[in-house]
Every structure is written in C-alpha cells, then in structure tokens.
Copies of this chain bind each other. A is one copy, B any other.
Amino acid sequence: MSEIPYKIYLSENEIPTAWYNVRADMKNKPAPLLNPGTGEPLKAEDLYPIFCEELSKQEMNNDDQWIDIPGEIVDFYKMYRPSPLVRAYCLEKELDTPAHIYYKFEGNNTSGSHKLNSAIAQAYYAKKQGLKGVTTETGAGQWGTALSMATAYFGLDCQVYMVKVSYEQKPFRREVMRTYGATVTPSPSMSTNVGRKINEEFPGTDGSLGCAISEAVEAATSQEGYRYVLGSVLGQVLLHQSVIGLEAKAALDKYGIKADTIIGCAGGGSNLGGLISPFVGQMLRGEADYDIIAVEPASCPSLTRGSYVYDFCDTGRVCPLAKMYTLGSNFMPAPNHAGGLRYHGMSSIVSQLYDDKLIRATSVKQTDVFAAAEKFARVEGILPAPESSHAIKVAIDEALKCKETGEAKNIVFGLTGTGYFDLVAYQKYNDGVMDDYIPTDEDIAKSLSQCPKIG
C-alpha cells in the first residue's frame, strides 16, 4: 500500500488565514447584480439595508485576490477544520481502477455539511457590526442548522423561516436548530405581511423556498438590528467556501499529488466554487490545467440545459437580478431528494467560469446517484448526503473510464456532507420506489420565457 495515508490531515496552523477570491484572477468578471426596479448595477451600499456592511463589500469585491480571515473565525474553524482529504483506497479496490480517488470530506461537524464555513463568517460580521441577530430561510435545514450553530457561538439571535412542509416532515433538523437556540418558524407564517398574504391567497399551502426568503428578508428589514443572511449562490459565500479548496490543494501539495480531475456537485454553486477556486486560479494564471466537472441533478439542470441570462435570484422576485445560468426563477424542480441542489439558477461566478469553458458540467439521474451513494457507503463507511452523492456518481464514472484506458488519474471530489437526515430518501431507494424526474424542453422553455429581458 502506498505511503499516502487514508486521511491527509493538515495541522491547525495550516488552516487558511485568508480566503482566496477567484474573481480577482478572472479576466471576464461575473456580471454585476442589477437593481430589479431600475436595471442599474448595484453598489455595495445598496445592499447595506439587507446584508451586513462587510459582507456587502465582499459581495462586490472583484479585485482583492486574498481577504484576511479574522482570528475569531479561524478559532472557530479549529473546532472542525482542517477537514480531512481522504484517499478512497477501499472504493478504488471495489472498482478495481488504476485511478487514485481522493475526497475532501466536509461532513464531520454537527451541521453535517460545508455550510458552516460561511455561516460562521456571516455570524461574525453581524456580531462585529453590533447587530442583535440575523434572519434566514431554510429548506431541507442544512443551512439553518449551520447558521444556528454559528449564532449560538457568538450569542446572536437567529430567526429561521423553514419551508412548512420541511418543518413538518423534518422535525429532527428543526430540533437541532432549537437546541442551538434558534427560533424556527414554519413558512408561510402569520408573523410577516408577505406570509399573511400568501396564507390568505393559498390557504393550507405547504410553503416554498421563495416564500421563506421573502419572509426572512421582511423580518430582517422590519426589525431594528437585524440583517438577512443566505447560505449559497452569493459571491461572499463562494469566497468563504474557498477554505475547502485551499485546504484540499495544500493537502495534495504536501504529498506531491497533481490532481487531474476535480468534481463537485452544483446547486447554487458555492461548495463547487469553493472547492475549485484555487485550482481555477492556477488555470486563469496559466500555471496548471485541470478537468473540472460540475455535477447537477437531471431534475434541475441549470448549467446543462439553462440559459445564461439575467434573472431573479428568488422565486418571490424581490432580490436583485443576477446574470447566471438559469432555468427561470419560477421553474419548479420536480421532487428531488437532494434538496440542496433544487435551485433554479447558479452562482454568477460559476456561471461565468462555465461560459468561459474553464469548467464543464454534466447531469445525473437520481436513482443512479443513490446507487453510487450506497456503493460508496458500504466500502468507505460514510453515509453520504444525496447532494454530495452526485459528485460520487461522476467520480466513480471517471474512475471506471480510467479502468478502460489504464490511466492512473488523480480524481478529487468534494464530499460536502452526510446523509443522516436524508433517510426518507434512502428508504425510498431501498424500497425500490424512487423515481427519476426529468423536465421536458417545454417545461424549461416556458419558465425561461418569463426571465426579465435585460442584458
């Protein structure tokens, strides 16, 4: 067996002390956010009523290659970082492939995913600005869990609007948030204007992420000392998630390993963007080349079947317009158990990198994803999140290609989280009653036709 250990751990003093901002190295910058009313590009100040000031600045920062990570955040990172880069020896053996497979595992914290990397940063800046608390929405609950852990740490109030159907069907996620002191409100609620309005119009509605966003934004802007925070899609989130890629690259460098293929699942794009940032940076600076693959669900294929246009970031159409690969803000993804990948659009940064052909994309079917998840779980011992399993599926496919060609490629993928709260989906798969939903061309064309006609 090779000298490379099963788990490459960096030491705590190798935790990054600055986030890498890939936008600084991009020749074609991501298109600016636009005011949905005027169509004018937004400035950082325009975001201050909604986001913390420092985070608003990070959102607009296309220039600084590195942004220092405050010491308090690094200290928190020490509780669960550096995360291990794992050599998947058992999976390689199972596949009988000459490829070397590595995964960066972000699931070893109670939030169960990479979301905590940005949650703690956003909570820190809220605390630093002297705020009382933050509001957010959560669907499946991973982001809400991560945020409640971060706000508990800094003693901030945390108000989470949880899509009603998830609130009722995922009581365990809700209880984790409550244990961390968050207030969790099923959305639509009767505590906001928009919630009351939706409840009146659609009595007994199950709620939607778009509605929960609208409630969280209203709650933030109508309470003194509160701001709204968001766990994906934004440039600031992708920036914070660069710790994933920086640690992965440092671990590879430590053993002289040159990645050939880098794979990540893509919903809003922040974990993928964070993982690939330092590697794409090398490509942008002409220092190295990689085959980078974004994996999305066939049920919500924004990169592979969407259009690169300006669109609303939210279903409620209250947030700024972003230029991105999108299926249209009123695209309703069919039931898909990878809740974290059910977003109609894609990070502006990832969209631009894709448009510039620095990365490629593929989509995979749900049942194939769960088959890969089960295979992985049985040999590598980790029960993966459905989202993360999209990357597993493609990593296995790439490793099997190597088996055909005899190439000993180094394949690196992001294992963003664990599936402990996704067992209803695993049960469906185990019972053989899981379906593959794929939208028709007509479905996509229809929702795309309602994008604003800008740019």
Q: Give Cα distance in the complex from A108 to B86, angstroms.
A: 14
**In the complex, are the beta carbons of A427 and B374 less than 8 A apart?**
no
- Complex contact A108–B108 (CB within 8 A): yes
A149, CB-defined interface residue at 8 Å: yes
Which of B80, B172, B418 meets A381, CB within 8 Å?
B80
- A:1-46 near B, CB below 8 Å: 5-7, 9, 11-12
Type the 1/0 row for A394-428, where 1 means its CB is closer than 8 Å to any CB of B.
Answer: 00000000000000000000000010110100110
Chain B residues whose CB sits within 8 angstroms of the CB of A178 once the complex forms: 426-427, 430
Q: Does A446 contact B (CB under 8 A)?
A: no
Q: Which residues of B contact A179 (CB under 8 A)?
A: 374, 377-378, 383, 426, 430
- Give residues 86-137 of A contacting B (CB, 8 Å): 90, 108-110, 112
Question: What's the Cα separation between A377 and B79 when bound, in Å?
Answer: 12
Contact A378 B153, beta carbon cutoff 8 Å: yes
Does any Cβ of B come within 8 Å of A181's Cβ?
yes
Q: Give chain B residues whose Cβ lies under 8 Å from the Cβ of A423.
A: 171-172, 175-176
Collect the chain B residues with CB atoms within 8 Å of residue A80's CB: 381
Inter-subunit contact A79/B109 (CB<8 Å):
no
Contacts of A290 in B (CB 8 A): none
Task: Say how far A62's CB is from chain B's closest CB, in angstroms.
Answer: 33
Q: Provide 6 A-B residue pairs closer than 8 Å at the C-beta atoms, listed in order of the A residue.
A: A5-B12, A5-B78, A110-B383, A171-B427, A175-B430, A179-B378
Given contacts A171-B423, A180-B377, contact A110 B5 (CB under 8 A): no
A283 CA to B445 CA, complexed, in Å: 75
Q: How large is the interface on A (under 10, 10 to 19, 20 to 34, 35 or more residues)?
A: 35 or more
Decide: B152 and A378 in contact? CB cutoff 8 A. Answer: yes
Return chain B residues, CB-CB under 8 Å to A7.
12, 78
Is B181 in contact with A110, judged by CB distance below 8 angstroms?
no
Q: In the complex, which residues 60-79 of chain A have their Cβ closer than 8 Å to any Cβ of chain B?
A: 76, 78-79
Q: Which residues of B contact A110 (CB under 8 A)?
A: 377, 381-383, 418, 420
CB distance from A282 to the nearest CB of B (A): 29
Interchain CB contact under 8 A, B153 and A379: yes
The answer, yes or no, to whether A289 is at the interface (CB within 8 Å) is no
**What CA separation (Å) do A299 and B168 show in the bound complex?**
32
Minimum C-beta distance from A254 to chain B (A)? 13
Q: Is there a chain B Cβ closer than 8 Å to A380's Cβ? A: yes
Smallest CB-CB A-B distances: 4 pairs: A172-B423, A6-B78, A152-B378, A175-B423
A300 to chain B, nearest CB (A): 24
> What's the nearest-Cβ distance from chain B to residue A118, in Å?
15
Mask of A412-455 contacts with B, CB within 8 angstroms, 1/0? 00000010110100110010000000000000000000000000
From residue 252 to 275 of chain A, which have CB atoms closer than 8 A to chain B? Answer: none
- Report the nearest B residue to A148, measured CB to CB: B378
A237-B149 Cα distance, complex, nearest whole Å? 35
Considering the complex, give the chain B residue whose CB is closest to the CB of A10. Answer: B9
Residues of B within 8 A of A5 (CB): 11-12, 78
A152 to chain B, nearest CB (A): 4
A178 to B424, CA, bound (A): 12
Contact yes or no, A180 B430, CB < 8 A: no
Tell whether, in the assembled complex, residue B426 and residue A175 are in contact, meaning their CB atoms are under 8 Å apart.
Answer: yes
